[in-house]
Amino acid sequence: MAVARVLDAGMADRVKVSLTGARDGRGFLFRTLLQLALLLTVVILAALLVQVLTLGWETLATRLGDFLTAESRSRAHEAGVFQGLRGTLWIGVITTLVAFPLGVSAAVYLEEYAPRNRMTAFIELNIRNLAGVPSVVYGILAYTIFVTLLRPVTGGKTALSGALAVAVLVLPVVIITSAEAIRAVPDSLREAGFGVGATRWEVIRSHVLPYAAPGILTGTLLSLGRALGEAAPLILVGAVAGSVGYSGGLLDPGQLREQFTAMPIVIATWSTNARPGFDQITAAAIVVLLVVVLMANAAAIGLRNRFEKKR
């Protein structure tokens, strides 16, 4: 007993010494730096939001309905984002419908079927490189292919061409994120499936894809949200800077074969307009685009949660 107490006392001493003696100065500094980095990011974001909201607030508060349904006009207090919204909506829909199935299929093929050889590695490397190509370049490519070569299908400088341009732009990112999500599926899961006599397709459909779905969805929809804000490729395939001749409704698919504009184009055009009131409606349009992108992201998160519950 006595011995134990002595030992205990010794331990306690030592603990006390190490508690007071070793301040982790460098660790503290590092941690502070990390916090500063985070703080800076948050401050920048907040500043952007505050600026845009204060500038655009009057428009949004006094004539939101009008702003969302009116066309682009030369006088700021009459102008609205309707045509841009319509274009962006259809571009988003078609991009998703094209890039998602194509990208996921390519990723499944690369990860599950393709032989592991130099050819496959070479293709993968190139897809990675494509993801880093500036969006303007995709615009030129899209102009040649969709506006010129495929004119009979797309109708030339239409929302369909714009959507296909954006689809090509996001495709590499969709393939890469999907492939990564598929690669993260543990092999033991595949073995379990094969072990009870499943075919490769059954293993992919019942186990690999459900497991990878949250990752695929998040990656894909985030990249889509980002691409909806791209102006460069749309300008190159002929998005209209002013008012569009076509007068269909928001959900009218006729837009696909007609002249179009889109939110980033509207914003870019208005922001260079020096007339009074345009600063304010530019800010309001940015808020609208942000809300659209946020809604797409919210959909991504909602879908992901549903899949996560399922698996």
Partner 1 sequence: MTVDLDSAVVAKGAVAPPAPLPVLTANDLQVYYGDFQAVRNVHLAIPRNEIVAMIGPSGCGKSTVLRCFNRMNELIDGCRVTGHVCYHGVDLYDPRVDAVEVRRRIGMVFQKPNPFPKSVYENVVFGPRIAGVARAEFDGIVESSLRKAALWDEVKDRLKASALGLSGGQQQRLCIARAIASNPDVLLMDEPCSALDPIATGRIEDLMHELKADYTIVIVTHNMQQAARVSDRTAFFTVEVSSDSDRRTGVLVEYDDTEKIFSNPSDSRTENYVTGRFG
- Applying CB under 8 A, the residues found at the interface with partner 1 are 115-116, 186, 188-199, 202, 206-207, 211, 311
Task: For partner 1, give the closer residue by CB, 167 or 208.
Answer: 208
Query: Least distance (Å) from partner 1 to the CB of residue 112?
Result: 11
Burial environment of residue 283 by CB neighbours within 10 A (0 to 12, 13 to 18, 19 or more): buried
CA distances from 286 to 90, 182, 230 (A): 18, 35, 13
Residues 156 and 145: beta-carbon distance below 8 Å: no
Task: For partner 1, give the closer residue by CB, 52 or 198.
Answer: 198
In this structure, the number of other CB atoms found within 10 A of the CB of residue 193 comes to: 19
Task: For partner 1, give the closer residue by CB, 51 or 305.
Answer: 305
Task: For partner 1, give the closer residue by CB, 203 or 283.
Answer: 203
Task: For partner 1, give the closer residue by CB, 157 or 190.
Answer: 190
Query: Least distance (Å) from partner 1 to the CB of residue 184?
Result: 13
Cα–Cα distance, 22 to 25 (Å, whole number): 9
Cα–Cα distance, 308 to 108 (Å, whole number): 20
Q: What is the DSSP letter of 70?
A: P
Query: Least distance (Å) from partner 1 to the CB of residue 218?
Result: 18
Cα–Cα distance, 156 to 238 (Å, whole number): 9
Query: Least distance (Å) from partner 1 to the CB of residue 188?
Result: 4
Query: For residue 47, what are the contacts with CB-CB under 8 A and spacing of at least 6?
Result: none
Query: Least distance (Å) from partner 1 to the CB of residue 189?
Result: 6
